[in-house]
Structure 1
């Protein structure tokens, strides 16, 4: 199983999209500042996740969520608590 996830940081007022096979471990790594891209936004919270059977399926969805169309979809469908409009 593979997870595509969207994190949100109230500190940075930012989203982060990623892919992993272990969502709990990956969130812990983000919040322990082990990822250069996310260490300034700690703490991060999972605001959306999707499960896929194969890595290629998950990668395709991750790429979409990182695209302009995916950002629009996130803006319309994901409303984390504490997010600014």
Structure 2
């Protein structure tokens, strides 16, 4: 399985989307500062993930989450979470 995931920074509230084969390991790497793109945005929370059977599907979904429509999808999907 491959996982597409979305993290939210407690510092700036912004999202980070990525994909991985080992979600727990990757999340730990992000929070330990081992990922350069999120190092200065820690601590991070895992707020959403999807499982895919194929790597290409997970990559495609990650790229979608980084688009305007993908961000709108996430905000609609996570509406109750984001508004409290």
TM norm. shorter chain > 0.5:
yes
Partner of 1:28: 28
For structure 2, the 5+ residue unaligned runs are: none
After TM superposition, give the deviation of residue 79 of structure 1 in Å: 4.4
With normalisation by structure 2, the TM-score equals: 0.89
Partner of 2:78: 78
Partner of 2:45: 45
Task: Say whether the 8 Å CA contact 1:5–1:18 is kept in structure 2.
Answer: yes
2:13 pairs with 1:18? no
Using the TM superposition, name which of 70-79 and 19-28 deviates more.
Answer: 70-79
SS of residue paired to 1:12? coil
After TM superposition, give the deviation of residue 9 of structure 1 in Å: 1.2
For structure 1, the 5+ residue unaligned runs are: none
Partner of 1:2: 2
After TM superposition, give the deviation of residue 78 of structure 1 in Å: 1.8
Task: Say whether the 8 Å CA contact 1:11–1:43 is kept in structure 2.
Answer: yes
Structure 1 segments (4+ residues) deviating >4 Å: none
The count of aligned residue pairs is 83
